[in-house]
Amino acid sequence: MSTLFYFILTIGVLVSFHEFGHFWVARRAGVKVLRFSVGFGKVLWSYQKAPEATEYVISAIPLGGYVKMVDEREGEVKSEDLPYAFNRQGLPARSAIVAAGPIFNLILAVLLFWVALVVGEEGAKPILGKIEAGTIAAESGLLEGDEFVSVNSKPTPTWTEALNVLIGAALDGDQEIKLIVKDRQGREDVKWVKLDHADVSDPEKLYKRLGFTPWAPKLPPVIDKVLPDGAALAAGLKPRDLLVSADGAPVGDWQQWVEYVKSHPGKPIAIEVERDGARQALSITPKVVQIPAARAGEAPKAEGKIGASVFIPDEVRNSLTASYSLGPLEAVPAAFIKTYEYSFSTLKMMGKMVLGQASVKNLSGPISIAQYAGESANIGFVHFLKFIALVSVSLGVLNLLPIPVLDGGHLLFFGIEAVKGKPLSERSQLFFQQIGIAILVTLMALGMIMDIQRLFQ
């Protein structure tokens, strides 16, 4: 229910802002708006100041919305309303009204990124953990304990920020990525991450191929949080339980326990825990999770997960975390830059998928979006804002694509009209709109297929 709530909230905010863009510009362009609706279907609530005024509506299905304008193409129009009809407006006015929806989505992204940057967030310091042989991290000469200072000259105060910039640069097609790192003694050095086309075709494989894992200190195997519906909850584990042994062997630290769990997917493990000074025996069966192959030709492997986190003492946590925020003025250009970078990356990824240079696994449907909405909201307010901003960028960029039916398709028709001096015939527009519908249905089907595959991985 929580996931569903945050999904509906996300879609409601994004669609409302998108449609408000059309509405706001239409009103200022002199077009009469009959109805502004949030949602589709049965009307649950409506408000209309006067019979000739705009009707504001909230409808039953909160997965969309629309703005209904006076338009001769959609029905009979009163003679007194003809000057205010959309189809009778000049080309610049019609173009501005159509473009306003996706542009408002990009504006919303800027606003949300600005709020996230000003509020700030706390995250793990970008310190590298164990470097596996054969990974890009090893090939780049990076060592365990190295801390990222910047990636391609962009400061990276947290692990999430470092990874986002790094993977973003890789997906943007950078063949070499410049890292500035400092070692345990505080000495800074320059490292170069070298990539080829095969490295960036699939973000999941890219992440594995990079081999960048966060550093973790040796911690006692004490349970902190037990996640719902996980193996730990089913086994009866509770916060502050100390793991003493697994299958008769002593558990020395948390990482040792994690590795043991990973190597036992779907296999029962006999454990002994210490709780409130007394020891008791339990049995736990780690959930099976499929991990994508790190390199082409390798098969994916199964790992075990129990759905529990480790207890970290405050003094250790403080030494491993960093806070990051900007002042209100300083955050303005940073928010615009983030929106531009994510817009460009989204557009570039779409192009790579069309050319076959990137996997369709990058597509996400409603199930994945709902899951990410719930997960980001559970992590924290700032993460949820950033998630909405990212989806808003995707929605804005997608709607600007020159695909008939989308806003970008209408703008394409207007461009042709500007060149020809007259609109395309209704027959031609209908033909291209049918092609656009076929493209969108295909994309939606692929997104759903990818979502269903992820559910069973």
Q: Would you please indicate which residues are annotated as catalytic (active-site) residues?
A: 19
Spatial contact of 286 and 304, defined as CB atoms under 8 Å apart: yes
pLDDT at res. 456? 62
- Domains in the chain, start-ordered, CATH in brackets? 136-216 (2.30.42.10), 223-311 (2.30.42.10)
Spatial contact of 395 and 105, defined as CB atoms under 8 Å apart: yes
Residues of the chain with pLDDT under 50: none
pLDDT at res. 201? 59
pLDDT in tens, 158-210: 888 888 888 777 777 777 889 999 988 889 999 998 877 555 556 667 777 88
pLDDT at res. 369? 79
